[in-house]
Amino acid sequence: MEARAPEPALPRPGDEIERYSVIGEVARGGMAAVFAVRRSGIGGFDKVLALKMMLPNLASEAQAVERFLDEARIASHIAHANVIQVFDVGTHLGAPYLVMEFLRGQSLAAVTRKAKKSRHTLSLGLRLGVLARAAEGLAAAHGTAGADGHPLGIVHRDVSPQNIHIGYTGEVKVVDFGIAAARGRIASTQSGEFRGKLAYAAPEQIRRDVAVDARADAWALGVVAWELLAQRRLFRGEDESNTLFNVLQLEVPALRTVAPDVPPEVASVVMRCLERDVSLRPESLDELASIFDLAAVAASGGRRADVAREMEHLFREDRAREDERLAAAQRGGGHVPLQLESTGGGSITALSREPAPRTAKRSKLPWLLGVAAVLGVSLLLAWRGLSGEPEAAAPSASTSASSAEARIAVHVPADARLVLVDGRRRDERPLVIGLTGDASAEVQVVAADGREVSRRVRRTDDGITLTLPAPMATAEPAPPASSAPPAAVRAPAKGGTKKPTGPLLADPY
């Protein structure tokens, strides 16, 4: 009996895919996995990109391949700052892939969840600004023409908070054209098959009584806008049947009745988007973009909202962790898993790091100056006592304790990969924190393998040592006994070593 050929595996960090070198896996789900890759060239050209590859088990399914290639072809035609850019397409071991810009940030869905969890109200200017940029991106997609100069008739068909990306530096992009409709699309939707998110789907996408065009995206963006401005869900029910009924039948509450701070012109255009009669909706999202943008500027005092500042407030620690993971993966090194939160619940694993570099010795100058200051005060008091000069009344212990700053030392484990104090990265060892009065600081220590410990420290904690939990067990078999050094510190083989697979960041694509 002829043996069955093994199924091709996804690439591993260090693998070469044509002109791209794999750094690590970013995410996996649905029909594809996304990798961070490096593209290098002459003159020192070096750029990190995202490579989205179809999962090998789907590469033999013709319809799945057609849908994947449709996404690459449709998205590559759209050239706009508010739409994710697609640069290349190819195949690797029979699996198609596309190369896109590398995004750093979070989906709008993740941003609203984090804001709610943190009890932080996103500014009206930010919310309107994000909606304006998303409308601009969708309008650009709708107006994109093909090589023959005629419109391609692109309709995203899956506009939702999950597919609006907000970068850590403030940019907004529409992503995932995987089920977009366009002239010349290869794949077709099977009869009775619904693709997309039911709570944001236009009624005509469900009923299929009229042709779906750009006004379906206007409906979906209207739902996103209503929810973002009202800060509550609109159509989502307890189950799919309840959600379906709401989309088709629920009377949409007037936006200003639930969000009175929303400008009237904004509320009016959002409610027009939510008309079930397609002919009553805005025909172009350019109109929405203009109204949202003007209102956003007005809400932010005559300028655009500082999206980057609010993203920094919400995701400072997340970004610091991602920075560390990405830097460690690019350096390469030992096989140490990093635990990441998966968007679908559970955990995903990232691999690759090198031993932490030795930190520089802390300067003794501050300590010497402190000793000199204490000696100086002591000599002054002694001189006053000998000369008979009356001493000034010493401040009470409580007054001194509340006004003077105490510098406390916090010792962190040698394998700490990232140390944050109130969300800000600190690299000195031992960690020295200045505290006044009853103030405290939150210290968070993260190891390279994802273990972490948090502790709120006060003045009385001077000299404390933070201890990380015991290492997690890994699924890798124990290495055979030998005189060779452990894998984490073994020198790389000549020509480089391949690093293990596993998700690297939590960026949405």
Report how far residue 188's alpha carbon sits from residue 154's, in angstroms, rounded to the nearest whole number.
Answer: 14
In a domain, 391, yes or no: no
Backbone torsions φ then ψ of 86, nearest 5 degrees: -110, 125
Based on the fold, state whether residues 19 and 148 are members of the same structural domain. no
Inside any domain, residue 480: no
Could you tell me how far CA 434 lies from the centroid of its own chain?
31
Same domain, 152 and 206: yes
Those residues whose C-beta lies under 8 Å from the C-beta of residue 1, and which sit 6 or more positions away, are none
- Judged by DSSP in three states, 40 sits in strand
* Same domain membership, residue 414 and residue 435: yes
Q: Is residue 274 part of a domain?
A: yes
Q: Which of 70, 158, 176, 449 is catalytic?
A: 158
Q: For residue 499, count CB atoms less than 10 angstroms from its CB and return exposed for 0-12, middle for 13-18, buried for 19 or more.
A: buried
Q: Which of 68, 102, 136 is the last residue of a domain?
A: 102
Same domain, 157 and 205: yes
Residues 148, 260: one domain? yes
Interacting residues of 50 by C-beta distance below 8 A, sequence separation 6+: 26, 34, 35, 36, 37, 99, 100, 101, 102, 103, 507, 509
Quick check: is 176 catalytic?
A: no
Which among 71, 294, 93 has a CA at the least distance from the CA of 176? 71
Question: Cα(70)–Cα(181) distance, rounded to whole angstroms?
Answer: 9
- Residue 45 CB neighbour total at 10 angstroms: 8
pLDDT at 424: 75
Count of H helices and E strands in the chain? 12, 18
Pairwise CA distance, residues 198 & 236, whole Å:
8
Which pLDDT belongs to residue 185? 62
Residue among 26, 34, 315, 306 nearest 168 (CA): 315
Q: Is residue 304 assigned to a domain?
A: yes
Extended strands (E) in 334-475? 338-341, 347-350, 405-411, 416-421, 424-425, 431-436, 441-447, 452-457, 464-465
402: tokens are 């509340």
Residue at 128: amino acid letter: L
Whether residue 220 is found in the same domain as residue 110: yes
Same domain for 122 and 70:
no
CB-CB neighbours of 342 under 10 Å? 15
Q: Which of 172, 439, 440, 419 is nearest to 310 (CA)?
A: 172
Residue 388 within a domain: no
Mean pLDDT per 10-residue run, the chain (509 residues)? 57 89 84 89 85 88 86 88 93 90 94 94 95 97 90 93 95 90 61 70 90 94 98 92 93 96 97 96 94 95 88 92 84 41 30 35 45 46 46 47 74 82 79 87 76 85 87 45 38 39 45
Same domain, 310 and 162: yes
* 255 shares a domain with 134: yes
Show the tokens assigned to 315. Answer: 């995701």
Boundary of a domain, candidates 78, 102, 126: 102
The β-bridge relationship of strands 464-465 and 405-411 is: parallel
Residue 190 located in a structural domain: no
Cα angle 78, 79, 80; round to 5: 110
Kindly report the CATH number assigned to the domain that includes residue 261.
Answer: 1.10.510.10
Q: Quickly tell me which residue has 């959002």 as its tokens.
A: 270
What's the distance, Cα to Cα, between the start and end of the chain in Å? 43
> SS3 for 166?
strand
Query: 363 and 271, same structural domain?
Result: no
Whether this prediction's pTM lies above 0.85 is answered by no
**Residues with Cβ within 8 Å of residue 488, at least 6 apart in sequence:** 333, 334, 335, 336, 355
The residue range of the domain holding 74 is: 7-102
Last residue of a domain, one of 50, 69, 102: 102
CATH of residue 93: 3.30.200.20
Give me the number of domains the chain comprises.
3
> To 10 degrees, what angle do helices 124-142 and 214-230 make?
170
Same domain, 167 and 263: yes
- On whether residue 393 sits in a domain, the answer given is no
Q: What's the DSSP call for residue 254?
A: P
The answer to whether position 63 is within a domain reads: yes
Cis peptide upstream of residue 477 (ω within 30 degrees of 0): no
Same-domain pairing of 222 and 268: yes
